[in-house]
Amino acid sequence: MHRLISAQSFGFVKKVMAVFEVISRLEPRAGARLSGPMIEVRRLTGEAIRPYLGDLATLRIQVFREFPYLYDGSDEYESEYLESYASSLGGVIVLALDGAKVVGVSTGLPLAEADASFQRPFMEAGIPIEKVFYLGESVLAREYRGRGIGHRFFDEREAHAAALGYEITSFCAVERPADHPLCPPDYRPNDPFWTKRGYGKRPELQTRLSWKQVDAPDEVENVLTFRMRTFPLG
């Protein structure tokens, strides 16, 4: 997510949602391939994104309400947030399409274009932000999970980042206790999948963000921890 939901400042809200890597139980198996009905995965930048903004907003609201994010979003905010990708010089959106239906979306943008809340942990750790490409959220409709689409989302965004010359790809994910009252019995954390993709958890890189949740009347502050992968140049 590229900037979080702050009721006090829409500008800050708009920045938060794009830097969360929240693949909602997408893929537990590294190396999985697409299976079942043919799903088209399409990488878009700039103006090509705009025709899909409404569908993307609807899907994000649907998936982010689930555990672990519990995000209580709105169509109005989501549409305006996604519009920012169309004007981003380095941003990317990857779609999963079942025919004309958008069933999944994954995003990314240069860290230099992200909010200061996400730049700060890297700067304090001495990691040059100009070398980092942020992988944003990945969301997929429940009935399409487990088909390898999560791997394609990573593949496409990593290829985009590499083409722009970035050495590091990174994302952050919300921390939730295993005994959280809203954790579903069948919930599977994405940690094993992320680790197999080469993203090591960096406990020293954390940020705190607040957003409106389905389980609380007011915004709730959350801790997010970053994962990072480095790619050799050349």
- Contact between 27 and 146 under an 8 Å Cβ cutoff? The reply is yes
Q: Which position has the higher pLDDT, 199 or 64? A: 199
Interval 33-40 mean pLDDT: 68
Q: Is the pTM of this model over 0.75?
A: yes
Tell me the two tokens of residue 84. Answer: 């920012």
Higher-pLDDT residue of 199 and 209 is 199
Q: Where are the domains of the chain?
A: 10-230
pLDDT score of 211: 82
Alpha-carbon dihedral 171, 190, 28, 178, rounded to 10 degrees: 170
pLDDT in tens, 15-33: 334 334 443 333 333 333 4
Asked if pLDDT for residue 62 goes beyond 50, the answer is: yes
**What mean pLDDT value characterizes the chain?**
84
The fraction of the chain above a pLDDT of 70, given in percent, is 83
User: Has domain 10-230 been given CATH number 3.40.630.30?
Assistant: yes
Q: What is the pLDDT of residue 120?
A: 97
The pLDDT confidence band at residue 34, using thresholds 50, 70 and 90, is low
pLDDT above 90: residue 98: yes
pLDDT at position 14 over 50: no
Per-residue pLDDT for 75 more than 90? no
Q: What is the pLDDT of residue 36?
A: 57
